[in-house]
Amino acid sequence: MTDSVTWELRGRAAVVTIRLPQVRNALGPREAALLGRTISAAAAHPDALGVVLTGEGAFSAGGDLPAIVEAIEGRDAAGVSEFVYRDFQSMVRALRECPIPTVAAVDGAAIGLGLDLALWCDARFLGPKAKLAQGWATLGLIPGTGGAKVLQELLPGALWHLLGQRPMNADQAAALGVGVRSDDALAASVDLIEGWVPVGRPALEGYAALSRSHLPDDTYLQECARIQGQRLTSESFAVTAQAILAR
């Protein structure tokens, strides 16, 4: 494991932390794949009753644009779709298949891919610096990690009101029902999991499995990857990405 993603056991909570503060925890394909593997490794610890997903300095500001542009160079739409499914979507498959409950401790930016990660978790705490937005659309992309369906299930109709809008702060997001406002999102997440000690891991595994029927299946994720491959190889994305990178 590299230092860009780490995990540690805090009591009965397996805390997975994204540590790329220089880019506000934006993720390229390699970091995304590492995060997926780390979530699975953390959940496998026999003493863990839940997994907390968080980030150093931010939750995740989305995809790492320079890394993505580098990764798609020379690939056609089908080739890009393949690595979107293999690398980026490995994170959300790890959350969907996590044997124990997952909690997002969101403080700082959770944009686009970052918002998707928070939404895939079973519960969310929102710290005072939380900023949440559906940021894919500003790049001409779709929620390539399945966030459109997850958001639709959690908050029907909210997607259309978030497109192109400014980020929501913690109070606004909590008022919509995205998560629970907390002065210390990480501490609240760990405390929540500590409260599950009387329940025990076997029962928690049952609750986790039964509560995720609304999450996107692989057929949906493959369709997201297919559409995202088309968008990432489009001329409009190339123009937008070049303009952003030239700033």
User: What domains, with CATH codes, occur in the chain?
Assistant: 5-198+215-245 (3.90.226.10)
Q: Does the pLDDT value for residue 165 go beyond 90?
A: no
Identify any residues that bridge with 16 across adjacent strands, giving them in sequence order.
Answer: 7, 53
Buried b / exposed e over 22-56, threshold 16 CB at 10 Å, is ebbbbbbbebbbbbbebbbebbeeeebbbbbbbbb
Six-digit token string for 120: 């895939």
Handedness of CA 74, 140, 152, 32 (dihedral sign): positive
What is the DSSP code (8-state) at residue 9? E
pTM of the model: 0.96
What DSSP designation does 121 have?
Answer: S
Q: Kindly tell me if the per-residue pLDDT of 108 is higher than 50.
A: yes
pLDDT(1) > 50:
no
Q: What share of the chain is helix, strand, coil (3-state, %, to 5)?
A: 50, 15, 35
